[in-house]
Structure 1
Amino acid sequence: MRTALVLLLAVLAGTAVGALSALAGDGAARSLLAALTAVGLALPVAHQVIAPEPAGERAAGRGRRG
C-alpha cells in the first residue's frame, strides 16, 4: 500500500509539472522531459515523507483480515 501511494504521488507531481510546462508553451519533448524529471525527483521525497508502517502493526493487521 505504501509503495502504491509513493508512486502515485510521484506520478501526480510529474503530471502537474508536465501539464504546466505544456501550458507555458514548451514543446512536447521538453514537457515530457520536465515531467519525467519531476517524477524522478519526487520519488525519494515521497519515500521520506510517507513513514513506513512499524513491523508490529503490519503483523497485527494481517490477523484481522479475512
Structure 2
Amino acid sequence: MTPRPGGDPPFLTLHTAVVLLLALFAGLVVGGLSLLGGVRPALAALAGLTAAGTVVPAARELIR
C-alpha cells in the first residue's frame, strides 16, 4: 500500500469498503425480509447480522 501525497495511508482500502458495503446490504436485505415474513424484530436483526457476517469472507474471496 503506497502512502498518499499527504503521507498517511487511507483509513479503509477500496477493497475493504466494498466488502463491508456488500455485507451491510446483505444484512439489511435478509433482516428486512425476515421482518416482513413475520419474524420478531430481535430475531430478524439476528438473521441480518448472521447474513452480514457470512458475506464478509465470501465477498473477500470473490473480489480478490
Interval of TM-score (by shorter of Structure 1 and Structure 2): 0.7 to 0.9
Aligned residue among 18, 24, 31 for 1:11: 24
Q: What RMSD over aligned residues (CA atoms) do the two structures have, in Å?
A: 0.4
Structure 2: 5+ residue runs without aligned partners?
A: 1-13
Structure 1 length normalisation: TM-score?
A: 0.76
Percent of residue pairs bearing the same amino acid type? 49
Query: Which structure has the greater CA radius of gyration?
Result: 1
Bigger helix fraction: 1
Structure 2 length normalisation: TM-score?
A: 0.78
Structure 2 counterpart of 1:30, which letter? L
The whole-number CA distance in structure 1 between the counterparts of 2:62 and 2:23 is 12
The aligned residue for residue 2 of structure 1 is: 15
* Correspondence 1:1-66 to 2 at 5 A: 1-51=14-64
The whole-number CA distance in structure 1 between the counterparts of 2:23 and 2:59 is 7
How many residue pairs get matched? 51
